[in-house]
């Protein structure tokens, strides 16, 4: 646990009592603050009370009298599409609103660091797609190299639930736009921006607000080194904003679409090969084609970003390459979960939007594509140019029939359920085919989350006869 600094003897409100909320309450108490807890859910309040906390109704008039700050869970809107009433009341009362990420950065360093030979460091990863894989890959590389490391944030543990760091430790944090948007303190040593594509538009009132939330990690965080994907205009802009010139090697530009040889430091992948360039010459190269857990250009971009971050930490190229090959990948992200009768089954249930589904479609050939769920604004018509490798589509879920109309005249079948889709794809698949779950939609019509959807697909595929 990271005890929160700066609120000793103060009453600090906590809104939202999920994983991060309860970890925040414990960290506040450990730092000498008095946590004041609330959640709209009676079940969440009961869980908090069972853990030894008292709950106070923050919706009542005058609830913020004597409160030093409000710490809110990232999923609770604070501005768009409209502020949560409790957050609005705190702001109206002049009470500072923060989240656990802000508390982490104000509390991470302690006087005990004076005795360390090597100062602990933080690597923070944000972006639209690939940030979880990039985070896990950096963490894996560090472990492979024998470096002390922990991983948290939007993946794994809550940040305040981390153990106090040891000498030279590197903490790797995945940060969503919800987390970077509100944090009052952001001071990463290395910040990574993977890419940007439309998502969470209602929460950020459009692409501008969404990008602005991501950009805060760099503009306000002032990292010592910035690793920035430049395959979209926003990344090009961000790299330009952070660098003093083309040769400024505090910015490492990353691409999976083009050569980047004219900068102080760049890492890019072309035709399956990762190349590192410094001051106009190539200094290292890695063949990514045999790295099973990182298929496709989108994963090659993740590999480039992770490589750049680890090179910034002083790791050797050969050591990073070894770690690539031992990386097992993340569940529900281009994950090969079975091979039956010469057919590969790939679980990419995390592909909940068009952009991530597009990357999955580009990564494989001879695809039998399971797609559908709760469709998002804009539909899936943007995927039509990428259907050359798709042999047949099996539509499931609430938006399945709408998706079929958008993607016509692609050969397809309306299956509605995952059971039927897997069964029909398995019946028709031939050796060399890939049965790919890349839904391009949310899961909430049939499953509580994308993980449960992926687990169901995995169980069905693995139960097929060999």
> In angstroms, rounded to a whole number, what is the distance separating the alpha carbons of residues 48 and 167?
34
The response to whether 127 counts as a known ligand-binding position is yes
177 in Cβ contact with 200 (< 8 Å) = yes
Contact in structure between 199 and 128 (CB atoms under 8 Å): yes
378 is in an annotated binding site: no
Is residue 221 marked as binding? no
* Chain length of the chain: 466
Active site residues: 131, 154, 200
Q: Is the peptide bond before 464 cis (omega within 30 degrees of 0)?
A: no
| Closest-CA residue to 26 (of 141, 131, 162, 122) | 162
Farthest CA pair distance, the chain? 68
Name the pairing type of β-strands 121-126 and 343-347: unpaired
Q: Which of 402, 395, 388, 349 shows the shortest CA–CA distance to 369?
A: 395
Q: Is 146 annotated as a binding residue?
A: no
Strands 343-347 and 335-340 turn out to be: antiparallel
Judge whether 131 is annotated as a binding position: yes
Closest C-alpha among 164, 42, 152, 32 to residue 100 = 152
Return d(Cα 320, Cα 143) in angstroms, integer: 11
128 labeled part of a ligand binding site: yes
Radius of gyration of the chain (CA): 23
Alpha helices in 350-440 (DSSP H): 354-363, 400-407, 418-428
Q: Which among 265, 264, 329 is positioned nearest to 296, based on CA atoms?
A: 329
Residue 381 among known ligand-binding residues: no
- Is the Cβ–Cβ distance between 276 and 307 less than 8 Å? yes
CA dist 306 → 125, 347, 388, 406, 456 (Å):
10, 22, 30, 36, 30
Please enumerate, by residue number, every residue annotated as part of a binding site for ATP. 127-133
Please enumerate, by residue number, every residue annotated as part of a binding site. 127-133
């Amino acid at each position: 646990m990271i005890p929160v600094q700066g609120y000793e003897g103060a009453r600090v409100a906590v809104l939202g009592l999920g994983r991060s909320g309860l970890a925040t309450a414990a960290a506040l108490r450990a730092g000498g603050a008095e946590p004041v807890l609330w959640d709209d859910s009676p079940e969440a309040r009961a869980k908090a009370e069972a853990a030894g906390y008292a709950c106070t109704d923050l919706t009542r008039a005058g609830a913020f009298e004597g409160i030093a700050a409000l710490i809110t869970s990232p999923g609770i809107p604070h501005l768009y599409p409209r502020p949560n009433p409790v957050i609005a009341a705190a702001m109206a009362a002049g009470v500072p609103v923060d989240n656990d990420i802000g508390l982490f950065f104000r509390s991470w360093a302690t006087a005990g660091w004076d005795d360390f030979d090597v100062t602990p460091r933080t690597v923070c990863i944000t972006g639209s797609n690939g940030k979880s894989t990039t985070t896990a890959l950096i963490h894996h590389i560090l472990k492979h190299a024998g470096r002390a490391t922990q991983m948290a944030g939007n993946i794994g543990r809550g940040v305040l639930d981390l153990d106090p760091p040891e000498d030279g430790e590197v903490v790797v944090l995945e940060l969503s736009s919800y987390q970077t948007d509100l944090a009052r303190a952001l001071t990463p040593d290395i910040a990574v921006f993977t890419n940007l594509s439309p998502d969470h538009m209602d929460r950020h009132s459009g692409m501008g607000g969404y990008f602005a939330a991501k950009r805060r990690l760099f503009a306000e965080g002032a990292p010592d080194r910035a690793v920035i994907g430049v395959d979209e205009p926003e990344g090009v802009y961000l790299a330009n904003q952070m660098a003093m010139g083309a040769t400024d090697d505090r910015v490492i530009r990353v691409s999976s679409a083009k050569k980047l040889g004219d900068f102080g430091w760049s890492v890019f992948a072309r035709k399956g090969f990762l190349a590192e360039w410094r001051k106009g010459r190539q200094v290292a190269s890695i063949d990514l084609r045999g790295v099973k857990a990182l298929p496709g250009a989108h994963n090659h971009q993740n590999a480039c970003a992770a490589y750049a971050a680890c090179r910034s930490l002083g790791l050797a190229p050969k050591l990073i390459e070894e770690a690539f090959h031992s990386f097992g990948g993340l569940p529900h992200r281009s994950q090969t979960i079975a091979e039956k009768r010469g057919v590969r089954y790939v679980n990419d249930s995390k592909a909940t939007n068009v952009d991530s589904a597009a990357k999955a479609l580009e990564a494989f050939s001879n695809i039998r594509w399971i797609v559908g769920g709760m469709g998002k604004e804009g539909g899936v018509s943007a995927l039509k140019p990428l259907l050359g490798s798709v042999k047949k589509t099996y539509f499931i879920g609430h938006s399945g029939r709408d998706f079929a109309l958008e993607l016509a005249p692609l050969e397809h079948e309306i299956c509605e359920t995952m059971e039927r889709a897997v069964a029909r794809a398995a019946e028709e698949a031939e050796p060399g085919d890939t049965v790919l779950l890349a839904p391009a939609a949310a899961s909430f019509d049939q499953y509580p989350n994308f993980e449960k959807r992926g687990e169901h697909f995995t169980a069905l595929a693995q139960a097929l006869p060999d």
